[in-house]
Structure 1
Amino acid sequence: MTIAAGTWTVPVRRLAYPRARLIGVPYAGAGAAAFHGWPAELPEWLELWAVRLPARETRIGEPPMADVHAVVAAVADALAGFDDTPYALYGHSMGALVAFELARELRRRGSPAPVRLCVSGRRAPQRADDLPGICHLPKPEFLAAVRRLNGIPEQLFDEPGLIDVLEPALRADFAVCERYRHTAEEPLATGLSVFGGDRDPTTDLEQLHAWRRQAAGPFVLRTYRGDHFFVHTRRRELLTDLVGDLGRVVSSTERA
């Protein structure tokens, strides 16, 4: 079955007959381009799609969305057009929160569940945010706070005018995280892979380990040398581990 690219979902690596599909949700301020370097690190059987939120890339003229439930409802609608290929969800930082709530929204709809949920650089959703809120700050103070928190890749601040273009989406994405209030539900039935940087100023090991409560399936936690954006500096290691986790569950599903 051919899947058409949509407003919310973008093919990064499309395959004729994938064994599995990975759907990535980017971090705050980012778009589908956050995953453009991934295909070279992926096996030949794994297809890759990315979620593209409003107010970035080809959607730059659209107003940003600052409510996680509105975001996941729209993405869940988009995923309804996908075929029944086994799939996993991955998200980093804000993307981890969106991926988690997306898995729960799909369960509420009775849609096929992901075979694995993979999250990185984000505390467990039931853990309150102990960082100061910044989404309401005036622009200079907001951008300075983002920089202090290492909330987006540092090189974006070096591109003249780019940070100004990204600021509305970035502010909305921080609002998604800061306004989020966790509602308890049954743990997801899927397995869960959690990844973190050992020098991430936004998330510590205990906050990462607390994800265990959110899934009834096999749980694994790995940390790598690096800060919040270890996903760039340790990408090969991260993807090797992620693909290994996904490959094992896909093989198990095929044998069943």
Structure 2
Amino acid sequence: MTVSPLSSGWLRRFSSEARDGTTLVCFPHAGGAASTYFPMSKLLAPLVGVCAVQYPGRQDRRSEPPLDDMAELADRVTESLAALDPGRPLALFGHSMGALLAYEVTRRLEAAGRLRPVRLIVSGRRAPGLPGTRPDLHGQDDETLLAELRRISGTAEQVLADEELVRMLLPTLRFDYKAVECYVPPAPGDGVLSCPISVFTGTEDGHVSPEEAAAWEAYTTDSCDVQAFPGGHFFLQTRREEVASAIVGRLRGRPAAVGRRADCPT
């Protein structure tokens, strides 16, 4: 894995910057790390340059205390993006927890005006403000958290079987779940973006219904398109090439469908 000089603080770049291309800032899911997007960065190069956000409390930042507040996370990431070239097109991509955080960072970037994203791509997450469908997890016992990890199939079983790795993962996961579960969304009518939004979902994802995905349309004055990929909550892992192709299409101005649901064929 090649890491560029930009890889310090909050951002990790795993490949060389795309020539005359868009920079895509990627936000991991709860419990995830920047390395989640290393395979995706290889698929998107050289058309799109990927910067992945590294949350504190994991991998090379494991000695730092995790953060459990979405607003603070968004503020810190927004500050870190000042290192990016303002003359290069910028887009944001986030999966699950990362989708909410990418949305909040986009709000801050648009308000500041220096780096205005050309598109926000959210994946595996219902629109902000919709009621949750499951009990809070950050206060549950270890077995409940492990059961949830196995249910959504986002963590390899061999990792869950490693007691040392599990002990390292669970505290950070609790912080991430707390950030999501205590997130306060904007009031209705507030928090509306000016950039287009693309929404990716899994056809078998019990966390996001078609209606909940389509509800992102209320959060932009521009276009909003929804595309479903075969798979569950972590369809990014099983449909990586199709997702990469969809990202390139969006960033080249070729959404699958504007304002309606578009399904990716099996």
Q: Secondary structure at the match of 2:35?
A: helix
Query: Structure 1 residue 206 and structure 2 residue 208: aligned?
Result: no
Q: Does 1:55 align with 2:60?
A: no
CA distance in 1, matches of 2:74, 2:145: 25
How do 1:76-91 residues align onto structure 2 when only pairs under 5 Å count? 76-84=78-86, 85-91=88-94
C-alpha offsets along residues 122-159 of structure 1, whole Å, 9 cap, x if unaligned? Answer: 000121212111101122333333433x1732433144
What are the equivalent positions in structure 2 for 1:115-154 lying under 5 Å apart?
Answer: 115-148=118-151, 150=152, 152-154=154-156
Q: How many residues align?
A: 247
Q: Which of 224, 232, 235 is equivalent to 2:237? A: 232
Q: Could you state the TM-score of these two structures normalised by the residue count of structure 2?
A: 0.87
User: What is the identity percentage for the equivalent residue pairs of Structure 1 and Structure 2?
Assistant: 33
Q: CA deviation at 1:44?
A: 1.8
Matched-pair contact (CA < 8 Å) for 2:27–2:98: yes
One-letter code of the match for 1:211?
W
Q: Which amino acid aligns with 1:19?
A: G
Cα deviations across residues 49-98 of structure 1 (Å, max 9, x unaligned)? 10000110100111111100000110011001211211100000000010
Shift of 1:26: 0.5
For structure 2, the 5+ residue unaligned runs are 255-266
> Which among 96, 99, 105 is matched to residue 96 of structure 1?
99
Q: 1:43 to 1:247 in 2, by over 3 A?
A: farther
If the length of structure 1 is used for normalisation, what is the TM-score? 0.90
Distance 1:230 1:145, change over 3 A: closer
- Out of 180-189 and 228-237, give the one that drifted further: 180-189
- Please report how far the alpha carbon of residue 108 of structure 1 lies from its aligned counterpart in structure 2 after TM superposition: 2.7
Amino acid across the alignment from 1:226: G
Change (3 A) 1:151 1:128: farther
Give the aligned residue type for 1:102.
V
Aligned CA RMSD, in angstroms, stands at: 1.8
The equivalent residue for 1:170 is: 173
In 2, the alpha carbon distance for the partners of 1:157 and 1:16 equals 36
Q: Secondary structure at the match of 1:223?
A: strand
Asked which structure has the greater RCO (Cα within 8 Å, sep 6+), the reply is 1
